[in-house]
């Protein structure tokens, strides 16, 4: 034991000398108070420091169903550690969670985070929470609570893990559960902003280990250095899609996360239906092509691990396609038809 | 890179050789399917594998308010790693979360977990989720979802981190927020089952490092070996207290977690009121005394770090004390009056 306790006994142990600093935790809490307060809405009943966060159920939702999801950022966090940029991973986390409930028709009500670290470093917790709070405001949900855990012996110095949890709401009749999907429905893709939060273990091995690049080095075949390219924020599709919920054009949505298109699109298709995806219908972004080339990664493996430029797939009523494409275009999206729903199961590429 | 990819290129990289095994993840998911299903209730609308978990809002709650909390198990997990016992930490996690919303008057609806590990070990994930599912059933809440993250380079072999999120409900008029507390109210203690989930970094340093004990060695001054003593499950107070919610006897409750009595009791007292706690009113369990002695830990520090045998404190209307004590006794509790609410702030001991 290095540091000594506060007692008169020179061998006295205390929590701080054991590696847990409650005073620093208290200061960190003060540092995030304003950030948390900035996300409050009319339904938020509690403030920082209560045992549980209180959120009044909004009025006017008929047969309300709560939709909830838990997620992490994965080893994208390593890029935050390597670059010292800590205020984007929180946005990744919130947006990922929001997308996961959006695909079932829900809009987010509130969010909670779990941040675990070995030793609290001044500024790091605040940076992470700043990103979380910003994304909560962008998505219109309250940062209702969270836990910051000091766990010496668990995390290397300067490292942390981060998990998040969102609760949203949907009127029962507007739930998207795949039951409306029909053979012949069209698949409409929305672009991803980058790797989002999946495939980072493989991407790091390729770029940092095999290619030997540093975070400031340009990725061959792209216009970006490793750090900014890999840290690009996981998009929230809520602004593009919130007004389609309750409409008849979009019959299902799949968020393309771990497992890629083949791992996620079938999750929203009913038994007896599969999908054909035309891989020539879009240009895979340079970043993915660079990863494939530098890592000699098989094409099928690339599509299982990465989103390949497609962050969200909508299953669309063909009769409503044209109107939907116009509306999405008006919201700044560049959607395209990438395939269709067919009898069968799973995803086949053509 | 050790293992090679599936392509014909002998230098081809893939996700598995990078350390992420999607097939093993799929098997782990299958292994927990029944456990998750066992927690379903009439309001659970989704099954394993949907992007978000769906939970219909129960009928008959007037002005429903959602109460939510996030928490972890802290370095109590190290005891699970050292002993190979993985099916109790999930119960700690659920019970901790349930207690945190119970003190605001809420009963739990559903729970989600986040489990992050370096390499998925067969049986470990299932063991953890078995504990979570058991505690969910015991507390009457559904295990609505969760995330199991494979994060190579983050966690040492055989180690993992674990976080949980609970959502509960309370009719607005039954919220316990401290506003009913009056000067002269009595403090009633309920026993803890052990360290619960706090103070483990200090306890490990004392018992394992300074005293040099192994997990099978008896703790001097107690009748228990280190492993079982430190792994004892954090109690849920829901069975003892659920029927007091909405009643008039209990005006506030404080869950005694990190920060001990001085750190938690004031969280439920309104401005202008403090508490006097009589430390002679109960016998501190041997485990805590052993920690104090072996670590030469100052008495005040012991009370700031550990629960000292008190897991829950109720703030009680004096006129209703007698009836409450009888009811709690009937539910198997051994409650005692440990102090009172006074003008002032914070906690003073006598």
pLDDT of B4 over the 50 cut? no
pLDDT of residue A1: 34
* Mutation to test the A interface, candidates B66, B92, B141, most A Cβ within 10 Å: B66
In this complex, the residue of A20, A22, A114 whose CB is nearest that of residue B70 is: A114
pLDDT of residue B3: 40
Does some domain include residue B16?
no
pLDDT of residue B120: 78
pLDDT of residue B195: 98
Which residues of chain A does B158 touch, with a Cβ-Cβ cutoff of 8 Å? none
Q: Note whether A164 and A227 are same-domain residues.
A: no
Q: Assess contact for B132 and B236: CB atoms under 8 A.
A: no
Does some domain include residue B8?
no
Q: Note whether A199 and A336 are same-domain residues.
A: yes
pLDDT of residue B31: 82
Q: Note whether A193 and A333 are same-domain residues.
A: yes
Mean pLDDT per 10-residue interval, chain A, length 350 residues:
49 90 82 90 84 91 95 96 96 98 97 92 90 97 94 88 97 94 98 97 96 97 96 98 96 96 96 97 98 97 97 98 98 98 96
Q: Determine the average pLDDT of the residues in B269-298.
A: 97
pLDDT band with cut points at 50, 70 and 90 for residue B79: very high
Q: Note whether B165 and B207 are same-domain residues.
A: no
Q: Is the CB of B114 less than 8 angstroms away from the CB of A165?
A: yes
pLDDT band with cut points at 50, 70 and 90 for residue B5: very low
In eight-state DSSP terms, residue B224 is S
pLDDT of B164 over the 70 cut? yes
Does some domain include residue B89?
yes
Q: Is the CB of A267 less than 8 angstroms away from the CB of B50?
A: yes
Which residues of chain A does B298 touch, with a Cβ-Cβ cutoff of 8 Å? 5-7, 9, 12, 14
- Collapsing DSSP to helix, strand or coil, A29 comes out as helix
Number of domains in chain A: 2
pLDDT of residue A126: 92
CA distance B26 to chain A (A): 11
Does some domain include residue B118?
yes
Domain boundary, last residue among B122, B141, B174: B174
| Cβ density class A259-269: b for 16+ within 10 Å, e for less | bbbbbbbbebb
At A281, give phi and psi (nearest 5°): -80, -10
For residue A126, what are its two tokens?
């605040």
* Mutation to test the A interface, candidates B49, B147, B303, most A Cβ within 10 Å: B147
Output the CA–CA distances (angstroms, integers) from residue B124 to A86, B21, B220, in the order listed.
31, 15, 31
CA distance A325 to chain B (A): 25
Q: Note whether A117 and A196 are same-domain residues.
A: no
* B304-349 pLDDT, tens digit each: 999 999 999 999 999 999 999 999 999 999 999 999 999 999 999 9
Residue tagged 């994930």 (tokens): B125
Q: Note whether B190 and B324 are same-domain residues.
A: yes
Q: Is the CB of B163 less than 8 angstroms away from the CB of A168?
A: no
Q: Average pLDDT, whole number, for chain B?
A: 93
pLDDT of residue B6: 46
Q: Note whether B263 and B142 are same-domain residues.
A: no
Domain boundary, last residue among B174, B199, B225: B174
In this complex, the residue of A15, A66, A202 whose CB is nearest that of residue B167 is: A66
The span from the CA of A87 to the CA of A71, in Å, is: 17
pLDDT of residue A6: 46
pLDDT of residue A47: 76
Which residues of chain A does B12 touch, with a Cβ-Cβ cutoff of 8 Å? 295-298
Which residues of chain A does B209 touch, with a Cβ-Cβ cutoff of 8 Å? 1
Q: Is the CB of A66 less than 8 angstroms away from the CB of B50?
A: no
Domain extent for B34:
22-174
Q: Note whether A200 and A155 are same-domain residues.
A: no
A3 vs B35, which has greater pLDDT? B35
Does some domain include residue A11?
no
In eight-state DSSP terms, residue B11 is T
Q: Assess contact for A292 and A159: CB atoms under 8 A.
A: no
Instruction: Indicate the range of A186-200, A229-243, B20-34, B132-146 predicted with least confidence.
Output: B20-34
The pTM assigned to this predicted structure is 0.94
């Amino acid at each position: 034991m290095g540091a000594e306790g506060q007692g008169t006994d020179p061998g006295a142990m205390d929590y701080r000398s054991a590696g847990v600093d409650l005073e620093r935790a208290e200061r960190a809490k003060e540092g995030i108070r304003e950030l948390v307060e900035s996300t409050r809405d009319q339904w938020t009943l509690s403030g920082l420091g209560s045992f549980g966060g209180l959120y009044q159920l909004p009025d006017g939702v008929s047969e309300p169903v709560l939709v909830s999801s838990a997620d992490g950022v994965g080893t994208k966090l390593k890029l935050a550690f390597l670059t010292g940029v800590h205020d984007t991973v929180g946005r990744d986390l919130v947006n990922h969670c929001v997308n996961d409930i959006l695909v079932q028709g829900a809009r987010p009500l509130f969010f909670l985070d779990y941040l675990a670290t070995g030793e609290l470093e001044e500024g790091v917790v605040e940076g992470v929470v700043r990103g979380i709070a910003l994304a909560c405001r962008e998505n219109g949900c309250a940062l209702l609570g969270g836990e910051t855990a000091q766990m010496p012996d668990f995390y290397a110095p300067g490292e942390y893990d981060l998990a998040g949890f969102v609760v949203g709401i949907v009127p029962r009749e507007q739930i998207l559960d795949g039951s409306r999907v029909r053979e012949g429905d069209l698949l409409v893709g929305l672009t991803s902003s980058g790797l989002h939060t999946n495939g980072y273990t493989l991407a790091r091995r390729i770029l940092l280990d095999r290619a030997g690049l540093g975070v400031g080095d340009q990725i061959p075949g792209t216009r970006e250095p490793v750090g900014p390219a890999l840290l690009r924020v996981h998009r929230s599709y809520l602004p593009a899609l919130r007004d389609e919920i309750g409409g008849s054009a979009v019959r299902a949505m799949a968020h393309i996360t771990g497992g890629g298109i083949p791992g996620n699109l079938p999750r929203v298709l009913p038994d007896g239906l599969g999908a054909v995806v035309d891989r020539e219908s879009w240009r895979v972004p340079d970043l993915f092509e660079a990863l494939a080339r530098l890592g000699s990664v098989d094409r099928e493996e690339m599509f299982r691990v990465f989103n390949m430029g497609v962050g969200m797939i909508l299953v669309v009523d063909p009769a409503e396609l044209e109107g939907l494409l116009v509306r999405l275009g008006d919201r700044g999206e560049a959607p395209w038809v990438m395939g269709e729903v067919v009898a069968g199961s799973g995803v086949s590429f053509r």
